[in-house]
Amino acid sequence: MNRKALNNFWDKLFKLLGITSISFGLLVLLALIIDVIIDGYPRITLNFFKSFPSRKPEMAGILSAWVGTIWIMVITALISIPIGIGAGIYLEEYAPKNKFTNFIEINIANLAGVPSVIYGLLGLGFFVRYMNLDRSVLAGGLTLALLVLPVIILSTREALRAIPSSIREASYALGATKWQTIRNQLLPAAIGNILTGIILAMSRAMGETAPLITVGALTYIAFLPQNPVIIKDSFPFMGISFQGLFDPFTVLPIQIYNWVSRPQKGFITDAAAGIMVLLILTLIMNSIAIFLRYQNQKRVRW
Amino acid sequence: MLGRKKFILGLKEKLIEKLLFLCSFLSVLTTFGIIFILSAESIEFFKEVPVLSFLTDTQWTPLFVNKHFGILPLLCGTILTTFIAISVALPIGLISAVYLSEYASDKTRNIIKPLMEILAAVPTVVYGYFALLFITPLLKKIIPSISGFNALSSGLVMGIMIIPLVASLSEDALRSVPNGLREGAYALGSTRLQLSFKVIFPAALSGIIAALILAISRAIGETMIVAIAAGQQPRLTLNPLVPIETITAYIVQVSLGDTPHGTLEYRTIFACGMTLFLLTLCLNIISFKLKKKFQEIYE
């Protein structure tokens, strides 16, 4: 072979290696999904969603787990979304270029890299002990809100940065104030990309296990946090109660962890079934996020 | 009238700015909160356990009658699983990144990148299940002497989990190398392979190292995979076939038990957390600085 052919040969070989490398991770993902379906499919029945955990594997279900997951995600979303977007807007539109802003930026980049279990320790020390929230669903939600905040801040900033400055200048030229510009021009334009970030953040919150274990979520729980909507006999027939915020809780990933760590074979089936539910929810949320981003990229606006 | 309206409008603007500032300031408070909580409990811990024995004792048995508080076995477990994970994620992630950046067409890239994202989005507890109940039995067929809980399977799965991180961050670094360099190399007759490894790769090196360091930090902090599949036996060994325990797995182990608040056992998790936080903080800052420097060169 001459030199050129040899070079081309190596080039082709590397291309093959590249395709193999990329397929490797994806094949593992496929193996994982198939493995979980084989193990868990028989347990996916309506009863599995309607039952509390039990000592008997074939009776056990994920009722308290999925209700807990919804509680946690709603609390996390309510706190992290407004604060995250607000912080993103400040850093991108208001913050002066100085040492302090730089410090905040390094700080957020670093927070995004802090291991999640450390947030759990923060939650345990601050929310559970110092604020006396005990091992409640509120303490868990607050902890996860801090955890996903950097994700939302970063995606808000990126979304705002993508808007050309001509939009801002045009708005100012028409006499709009800074906030009017942000509210009426920038946010509507950026909302698609911000939403993508929010969905990814919520998907992350749904799968987090370690920080909630540290905060003190229970692994065996046979009741639900008190329903926020109370049906009454007399007018106005409905009431809202926040008592549930202070109840103990578990979430889907923790229930799965609990089942995985038990020796009986039956619980492995329960774990696999729980994973199927968790994986399907994760896949749906991520697909929506990816689709949204794709749509936003397609829309040529400027 | 107009003046008054303008005044109120100005006031509102100022108020909103302050409010938004507070939102971003919360991130600073979070960092201070972490540092404060960790140090407050750690200081109490180090009043009873000398720092020197924490750093040099070779046994970690805080839950036994004969108590030893040496972080080394936990640190050793953490380093072992991290090393295995990086040995998997670095080559595969880098080759994938080079392929995506220099070889793949836009269309291929648009299909592969979202799939990679999904690989990264799988909850870690799922990976833990996979390590314990799929990879370990598989490894047992190859290495019959391997224990049911071991560092190898959790390290391997952790590696797979961080492939997307390494791949996407390195790809960003590779792609931000200016096109002029590519065109120059092609004009001199180089193949894509020569271009990738002789021109683009060296040019993007600091960005790639930033990605690698971030991946190491991520592996050190990973919790659920090791808590499920690596065992709960702190052990000063580099043998990947026996049960070990990492810093993170220990924190989970103690959190699951009902360790009363204020005891020495309770404080051990904060001392462990402090160690973990300092380790990852250093790595994150180095990575951030490298990335900043890299961006300054090309942007």
> Which residue from B minimizes the CA distance to A175?
B6
* Residue A11 reports pLDDT greater than 60: yes
Contacts B263 to A, Cβ<8 Å: none
Q: How far is A286 from chain B (nearest CA, A)?
A: 7
Shared domain for A36 and A50, answered yes or no, is no
CA distances from B211 to A155, A300, B82 (A): 19, 32, 15
pLDDT at A156: 95
Shared domain for A166 and A247, answered yes or no, is yes
Mean pLDDT value across residues A185-203 = 92
3-state helix, strand, coil in chain B (%, to 5): 80, 0, 20
Q: Would you call A261 and B228 a contact, using CB atoms and an 8 Å cutoff?
A: yes
Mean pLDDT value across residues A178-205 = 92
- What residue segments make up the domains of chain B, in order of their start? 72-298
Per the CB < 8 A criterion, the answer to whether B126 and A275 are in contact is yes
pLDDT band at B31 (very low <50, low <70, confident <90, very high): very high
Shared domain for A36 and A63, answered yes or no, is no
pLDDT at A4: 82
pLDDT band at A232 (very low <50, low <70, confident <90, very high): low
* Residue A299 reports pLDDT greater than 90: no
Chain-wide mean pLDDT for chain A? 89
Shared domain for A11 and A86, answered yes or no, is no
Question: Look-up: residue for tokens 């990933």?
Answer: A253
pLDDT at A302: 58
Contacts B25 to A, Cβ<8 Å: 104
pLDDT band at A300 (very low <50, low <70, confident <90, very high): low
Shared domain for A123 and A17, answered yes or no, is no
Shared domain for A81 and A19, answered yes or no, is no
pLDDT at B2: 65
Shared domain for A89 and A187, answered yes or no, is yes
**CA B173/CA B198 separation, integer angstroms:** 15
pLDDT band at B8 (very low <50, low <70, confident <90, very high): confident
Structure tokens belonging to residue A210:
């370690």
Structure tokens belonging to residue B90:
């670095």
Q: What is the pLDDT of residues A25-34, one digit of tens each?
A: 899 999 999 9
Mean pLDDT value across residues A101-106 = 89
| Number of CB pairs, chain A paired with chain B, less than 8 A apart | 267
Domain that holds residue A231: 46-298
Structure tokens belonging to residue A54:
């039990």
* Residue B1 reports pLDDT greater than 60: no
Residue of B18, B20, B296 to mutate when probing chain A, most A C-beta within 10 A:
B20
Q: Which has the closest alpha carbon to B98: A16, A295, A216, A107?
A: A16
Query: What percent of chain B is predicted at pLDDT more than 70?
Result: 99
pLDDT band at B97 (very low <50, low <70, confident <90, very high): very high
pLDDT band at A1 (very low <50, low <70, confident <90, very high): low
How many Cα neighbours within 13 Å face the side chain of B262?
2
Using DSSP, state whether B70 is helix, strand or coil.
coil
Question: Look-up: residue for tokens 């949204």?
Answer: A292
Return residues 38-57 of A near B (CB < 8 Å).
39
Shared domain for A235 and A276, answered yes or no, is yes
Number of domains forming the structure of chain A? 2
* Residue B95 reports pLDDT greater than 80: yes
The CATH classification number of B72-298 equals 1.10.3720.10
**CA B205/CA B211 separation, integer angstroms:** 10
pLDDT at A214: 92
Q: Would you call B123 and A208 a contact, using CB atoms and an 8 Å cutoff?
A: yes
Picking from B9, B193, B255, the nearest residue to A14 by CB comes out as: B193
Q: Would you call A115 and B248 a contact, using CB atoms and an 8 Å cutoff?
A: yes
Shared domain for A128 and A9, answered yes or no, is no
Mean pLDDT value across residues A207-233 = 80
Question: Look-up: residue for tokens 């730089």?
Answer: A102
Shared domain for A8 and A67, answered yes or no, is no
Per the CB < 8 A criterion, the answer to whether B200 and B181 are in contact is yes
Count of C-beta atoms within a 10 Å radius of residue B61: 14
Chain-wide mean pLDDT for chain B? 90
Per the CB < 8 A criterion, the answer to whether B299 and B172 are in contact is no
**CA B281/CA B107 separation, integer angstroms:** 38
Using DSSP, state whether B240 is helix, strand or coil.
coil
Picking from A88, A113, A214, the nearest residue to B251 by CB comes out as: A214
Shared domain for A30 and A173, answered yes or no, is no
**CA B203/CA A70 separation, integer angstroms:** 47
pLDDT band at A212 (very low <50, low <70, confident <90, very high): very high
CATH classification at residue A233: 1.10.3720.10
pLDDT at B6: 81
Stretch among A65-74, A105-114, A202-211, A233-242 having the lowest mean pLDDT:
A233-242
Query: What percent of chain A is predicted at pLDDT more than 90?
Result: 56
* Residue B192 reports pLDDT greater than 80: yes
Shared domain for A145 and A255, answered yes or no, is yes
Q: Is residue A214 within 8 angstroms of chain B, CB to CB?
A: yes
**Could you please report the per-residue DSSP string of A141-164?**
HHHHHHHHHHHHHHHHHHHHHTS-
